[in-house]
């Protein structure tokens, strides 16, 4: 009988355009669209920046020489137009007014041995600090070469020590620890949103439409009705979260995100069956927990609007812990493994990094299952209250 109720509620839910949008369409399309737009905008900014001719204003006693040096810099450092200023205040004013992109003030130290270059720019303009640093490094390299040549010294002679820093962490671990917080954030957010409309529609909506009364007069135990409906809410949450992950993977697979080839290979390597199954195993009790929290509210609320106004802020409360995943240094340990939602976020990070032990996986899964069970119990108690289900 539970399956019969599930089947009917699923059919009813799949015919609701609003639920379909939040359950399937938005989660699947959001990443391909957002990432595509983001990549295209970034690319066009970068191209514009590279093609843009920067105006460099030079002030100081040796301006003519610096102008020549700047003009002789390789084209790969970007186009530039060098203007010599005789008034430092005028250059300052022009940089601030953005008539000049980079202001270069220079002077020698009192011992006349070091040329000091002061760069002035508006750092809110994309690429200005990077271009200034690149020009500066190129000029410094030219001057250093000249001086070493004059002294007859090879560059190796003034480099007594050369350090190499080697990262022993695997690429998987690096991605997991640095960017792994993003993945649980996505499925928590979409898992929650996916549950929201079916929960409201199947409980508050049924009260509002006046169909709950007739359903409860059938010879089906209330707990079976609750479980049948709850399964649809959980399925919707799982579907929405899975769709968002599919959308993300489609983006990685088919969009040129500008990531390095090695990183893309690592990401492809991660997408194996055990990884996906483990991810779904972590997601499943959490979505039951979400459903178990939302359903009592949906049962209590007298109207769709009231349910929505309570559940929407709850979204922030539930999804905020997912942000923990973005902070480096917070690890899955004996304490964090017992904090609901946060434990799933941290376990997912470890899963991506390939460092999640079976013991921790089991602990997180058990804690979430227990919490989910309590949430279901809460739903059952609320569903049993006459004043909640009958108007």
Partner 1 sequence: MITVQHLSKTFELTKQQRKELQTQAKTANAVKNISFECQPGRVFSLLGPNGAGKTTTLRMLATLVKPSSGQIQIQGIDALAHPEEARKHIGFLTGSTGLYARLTPIELIDYYADLYGVTAVNREKRKAELFELLNMHDFLNQRIGKLSTGMKQKVSICRTMIHDPEVVIFDEPTSGLDVITAENIIKLIRSCKDQGKTVIFSSHIMSEVDLLCDDLAIIHKGELKYQGTMDEFKAQMQTKNLTEEFIRIVQTQNLAQ
Task: Report the residue number, 24 or 257, with the smaller CB distance to partner 1.
Answer: 24
Q: Read off the tokens for 376.
A: 């279901």
Task: Report the residue number, 18 or 79, with the smaller CB distance to partner 1.
Answer: 18
Q: Are 231 and 1 spatial neighbours (Cβ–Cβ below 8 Å)?
A: no
Query: Which positions ≥6 away from 20 have C-beta within 8 Å?
Result: 14
Q: Give least dist CB 241 to partner 1, A.
A: 24
Pick the piece of the chain touching partner 1 (CB under 8 A) from 64-72, 115-123, 141-149, 210-218: 210-218
Determine which residue in the list 110, 156, 272, 387 makes contact with partner 1, applying CB under 8 A.
387
- Comparing CA positions, the residue from 292, 203, 279, 278 lying closest to residue 244 is 279
Task: Report the residue number, 12 or 92, with the smaller CB distance to partner 1.
Answer: 12
- Comparing CA positions, the residue from 228, 229, 243, 227 lying closest to residue 191 is 243
Q: What is the DSSP string of 190-240?
A: HHHHHHHHHHIIIIIHHHHHT-HHHHHTSSS-HHHHHHHHHHHHHHHHHHH
Residue labelled with tokens 């015919």: 15
DSSP designation for 23: I
Here's the x/- map for partner 1, 56-95, by CB under 8 A: it reads as: ----------------------------------------
Determine which residue in the list 12, 49, 122, 306 makes contact with partner 1, applying CB under 8 A.
12
* Angstrom distance (rounded) from CA 265 to CA 260: 9
Determine which residue in the list 217, 274, 327, 334 makes contact with partner 1, applying CB under 8 A.
217
> Does 21 interact with partner 1 (rule: CB under 8 A)?
no
Q: How many residues does the chain have?
A: 391
Query: Which residues from 38-57 bind partner 1, rule CB under 8 A?
Result: none
Determine which residue in the list 2, 10, 16, 90 makes contact with partner 1, applying CB under 8 A.
16
Q: Give least dist CB 212 to partner 1, A.
A: 8
Contact residues for partner 1, defined by CB under 8 A: 1, 4-5, 8, 11-12, 15-16, 209-211, 213-221, 386-387, 390
């Amino acid at each position: 009988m539970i399956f019969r109720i599930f089947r009917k509620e699923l059919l009813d839910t799949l015919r609701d355009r609003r639920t379909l949008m939040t359950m399937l369409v938005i989660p699947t399309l959001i990443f391909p669209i957002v990432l595509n737009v983001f990549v295209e905008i970034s690319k066009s900014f970068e191209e514009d920046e590279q093609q843009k001719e920067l105006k460099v204003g030079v002030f100081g006693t040796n301006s003519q020489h610096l102008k020549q040096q700047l003009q002789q810099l390789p084209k790969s450092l970007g186009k530039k137009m060098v203007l010599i200023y005789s008034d430092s205040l005028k250059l300052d004013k022009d940089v601030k007014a953005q008539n000049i992109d980079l202001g270069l003030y220079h002077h020698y130290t009192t011992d006349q041995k070091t040329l000091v270059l002061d760069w002035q720019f508006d750092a809110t303009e994309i690429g200005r600090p990077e271009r200034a640093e690149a020009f500066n490094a190129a000029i410094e390299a030219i001057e250093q070469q000249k001086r070493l040549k004059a002294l007859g010294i090879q560059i190796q002679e003034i480099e007594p020590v050369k350090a190499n820093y080697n990262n022993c962490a695997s690429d998987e671990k690096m991605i997991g620890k640095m960017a792994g917080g993003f993945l649980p954030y996505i499925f928590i957010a979409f898992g929650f949103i996916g549950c929201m409309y079916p929960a409201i529609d199947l409980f508050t909506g049924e009260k509002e439409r006046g169909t709950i009364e007739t359903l409860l007069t059938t010879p089906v135990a209330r707990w079976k009705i609750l479980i049948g409906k709850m399964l649809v809410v959980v399925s919707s949450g799982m579907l929405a979260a899975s769709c968002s992950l599919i959308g993300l993977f489609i983006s990685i697979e088919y969009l040129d995100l500008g990531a390095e080839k090695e990183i893309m290979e690592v990401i492809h390597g991660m997408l194996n069956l055990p990884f996906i199954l483990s991810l779904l195993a972590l997601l499943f009790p959490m979505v039951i927990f979400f459903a178990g929290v939302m359903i009592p509210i949906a049962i209590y609320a007298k109207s769709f609007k009231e349910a929505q106004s309570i559940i929407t802020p709850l979204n922030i409360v539930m999804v905020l812990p997912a942000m923990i995943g973005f902070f480096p240094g917070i690890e899955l340990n004996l304490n964090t493994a017992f904090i609901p939602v946060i434990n799933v976020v941290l376990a997912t990070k470890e899963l991506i990094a390939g460092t999640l032990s079976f013991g921790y996986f089991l602990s997180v899964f058990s804690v979430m299952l227990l919490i989910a069970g309590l949430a279901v119990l809460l739903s059952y108690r609320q569903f049993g209250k006459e004043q909640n289900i009958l108007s």
